[in-house]
Amino acid sequence: MHAPSVEMNLKARDRAKVLLATLRQFEDCQSIFLSPTDLQAFGVEAYQVDIADDGVPQFEPRFFDPYPMGVLQKYPINAAGNNYDVRRFPYMPTLQDALATVQESLPVSEDPLKAAQKLFEKRLKEYHFWDDHSHADFIDNHIAYELSAVRDGGSPFLSLLDLGGSWETIPEEFPAMFETNQLRWKSELFVQDHDKTSPLPHAICTTIAGVDATLADQNLTLHEMRAIMRMIFLLLSFMGKQHGRIIQIVVKEGRIVVQYSKLWSFEVEDTAPVELFIRYMLSRPVGLERPSSAGSRWRIDPVTGMPLA
């Protein structure tokens, strides 16, 4: 593979200068939530992208190709190989779940509805005990476990990490953890492609933040902008009330464009987009840029179900 040309290196430096200059503006910003109109004052164009039928945000251009759908069903957790409950974060409790619990152990003489209501109220109180930062951390930990857990359907010690692209983890935290009276956030994982000759830094960063994103779900947050202005990468953002979204930044001809998905909820187990975020953690870089309409670069062996090189 050829090394980046001098022209590509110069363009990369120009992009870095644009991002750094804009980042300095956000360091002085005090607003937690930033609308697309607010961001225009910083020289940033921002807009929410549509979601395709397979749940993938329609970023344009597309720098990452998420792993194909159905990976969690194809490779179920091996119960014998894991001594840890995969449901690591508490879902929003429901009266129906509480009723199912009490019906399994409640003496016949007691009223199941009354007992279920009491248990539901107890669970709800415990759920709201956790702060926004903890709710974000629960999601990140849950996805990390899903990625590393031993699974059926492949080799004896298969994990989802064996299916992904050739990523390497950056050992130091990037960007550094920020804590203020208003904003608490940190990057939890930063990985980049092994291909050092790529003209763009194909990298994925996850952040967790003590921000209740539901207060302004159409807006981006200050911590997201501070994170993504440090480097061109895909950002998986986990926030309070167990919500998250995916963000991509594009810099062209001195213009900064931030594209972001809708805000997804992880509060309900059946609808939590855990697999979608895992698919992006297993994604492959697709080159300098690729239209969203282009087909997937993933090729799966029909016999083994494993990715082909």
Confidence grade of residue 85 (pLDDT, cut at 50, 70, 90) = low
Confidence grade of residue 127 (pLDDT, cut at 50, 70, 90) = confident
Distance CA 35, CA 96 (A): 38
Distance CA 99, CA 49 (A): 40
- By percentage, how much of the chain surpasses pLDDT 70? 70
Q: So what's the pLDDT on residue 25?
A: 83
Q: So what's the pLDDT on residue 303?
A: 45
- DSSP class per residue in the chain: -PPPPHHHHHHHHHHHHHHHHHHHHHHT---SEE-HHHHHTTTEEEEEPPB-TTS-B--SS--EEPPPTTHHHHS-B-GGG--S-S--SPPPP-HHHHHHHHHHH--TTS-HHHHHHHHHHHHHHHHHHS-HHHHHHHHHHHHHHHHHS-BSSSSTT--GGGTS--EEE-SS-SS--EE-SS-EEEEEEEEEES-TT-SS--EEEEEEEEEEGGGGTTSEEHHHHHHHTTSS-EEEEEEETTEEEEEEEEEETTEEEEEE-PPEE-SSTTT--HHHHHHHHT-EE--S---TTSPP---B-TTT-PBP-
Confidence grade of residue 47 (pLDDT, cut at 50, 70, 90) = very high
- Residue extents of the structural domains in the chain: 4-77+131-285, 95-129
User: Residue 138 above 90 pLDDT?
Assistant: no
pLDDT in tens, 159-184: 888 887 655 555 444 444 454 545 56
Give the number of other Cβ atoms within 10 Å of residue 26's Cβ: 20
Structural tokens at position 262:
């809708």
pLDDT in tens, 198-238: 555 567 888 888 889 899 999 999 989 988 887 667 899 99
Whether the CB-CB separation of 288 and 62 falls below 8 Å is answered with no
Structural tokens at position 189:
């994982």
Q: Find all residues with CB under 8 Å of 9, minimum gap 6, and list them.
A: none
Distance CA 177, CA 164 (A): 27
Task: Tell me how many degrees the CA angle 166-167-170 measures, rounded to the nearest 5.
Answer: 155
Would you state the torsion angle of the CA atoms of residues 49, 55, 56, 59, taken in this order, to the nearest 10 degrees? -10
pLDDT in tens, 256-278: 899 999 999 998 888 999 999 99
Mean pLDDT, the chain, integer: 77
Structural tokens at position 123:
């669970």
Task: Tell me how many degrees the CA angle 303-168-302 measures, rounded to the nearest 5.
Answer: 10
Structural tokens at position 22:
């804009």
The pTM assigned to this predicted structure is 0.76
Work out the average pLDDT over 43-65: 92
Q: So what's the pLDDT on residue 198?
A: 55
Tell me, what amino acid is at 163? L
